[in-house]
Amino acid sequence: DTGVSQDPRHKITKRGQNVTFRCDPISEHNRLYWYRQTLGQGPEFLTYFQNEAQLEKSRLLSDRFSAERPKGSFSTLEIQRTEQGDSAMYLCASSPPSLTEAFFGQGTRLTVV
Amino acid sequence: DAKTTQPNSMESNEEEPVHLPCNHSTISGTDYIHWYRQLPSQGPEYVIHGLTSNVNNRMASLAIAEDRKSSTLILHRATLRDAAVYYCILRGYTGANSKLTFGKGITLSVRP
């Protein structure tokens, strides 16, 4: 098992464009989390999936943001009409049913120009 | 969400023990105490967690106060690779309470 994988690692986009990030969790991890991190701050929770069900969304997740986890496997996070304030590191994490620990990916760094 | 309080930063000398404190006075009976660390340009990494008893693993030890309102992460011999931001987090075990809520953490610097 290679851990949590995120793609792409870096993304530069123009303001107003749509972007989509992918997260492949560790196999058999039923819980998946998305976070956003800006410079000098700790990661901020965005949304949580248990299997394919999206059980919680932060108020940080405006209507321009949408996340899916079809079939309870990989997940995607889409940002529509990107703004400069969306520039951040987007982190994905997964946990097994026992919730002993969460494993984080390396993140996708988004730069909106 | 239950909150934790940590100092902003701490310095240590290489090969000396490091004690990183955390206060969590509003902890509930079902909250586990988790510690993660984050090296520059990397995602957070699990360090250790516990409920009531002290815990040891290959990375660190976790000392939990008897009233559970504070805890201390202990690195027995700091190395330069331990320089990172360390987060103390309370984690529930039901549904969305299982999410990790990060604060600013404590930045550990290790002097050679």
Alpha carbon distance B1, A41 (integer Å) = 18
Alpha carbon distance B29, B19 (integer Å) = 24
Give alpha helix (H) positions in chain B.
none
Give residues 27 to 46 of A whose Cβ lies within 8 Å of B. Answer: 31, 33, 35, 40-45
**Least Cα separation, residue B107 to chain A (angstroms):** 10
User: Is the pLDDT score of B97 beyond 80?
Assistant: no
Alpha carbon distance A94, B44 (integer Å) = 12
Beta-sheet pairing, B106-111 with A103-104: unpaired
Is the Cβ pair B100, A42 closer than 8 Å? no
End-to-end CA gap in chain B: 38
More confident residue, B96 or A110: A110
* Contacts A101 to B, Cβ<8 Å: 34, 46, 49
A/B interface, count of CB pairs below 8 Å: 56
Q: Tell whether B55 is within 8 A of chain A (Cβ).
A: no
pLDDT of amino acid A9: 96
pLDDT exceeding 90 applies to what percent of chain B?
Answer: 80
SS3 B36: strand
- Cβ count within 10 A of residue B56: 13
Instruction: Name the residue of chain B whose CA is nearest to A55's CA.
Output: B96
pLDDT of amino acid B2: 57
Instruction: Name the residue of chain B whose CA is nearest to A10's CA.
Output: B41
User: Is the pLDDT score of B92 beyond 80?
Assistant: yes
pLDDT of amino acid A94: 95
Q: Tell whether B61 is within 8 A of chain A (Cβ).
A: no
Amino acid at B22: C
Q: Please say whether the beta carbons of A96 and A28 come within 8 A.
A: yes
- Report the length, in residues, of chain A: 113
Torsion of CA B42, A3, A52, A30, to 10 degrees: -110
Task: Encode pLDDT of B44-62 as tens digits.
Answer: 999 999 999 999 999 999 9
Separation in Å, CA A78 to CA A11, A38, A61, B64: 13, 18, 11, 40
CA angle (B26, B27, B30) in 5-degree steps = 150
SS3 B98: helix
pLDDT exceeding 70 applies to what percent of chain B?
Answer: 97
User: Is the pLDDT score of B4 beyond 90?
Assistant: yes
Residues of chain A short of pLDDT 50, as ranges, are none
For residue A106 the two structure tokens come to 């390396």
* Contacts B99 to A, Cβ<8 Å: 33, 45, 48, 56
Backbone CA torsion sign across B60, B64, B70, B76: negative
More confident residue, A19 or B1: A19
pLDDT band at B1 (very low <50, low <70, confident <90, very high): low
More confident residue, B97 or B71: B71
Is the Cβ pair A93, B91 closer than 8 Å? no
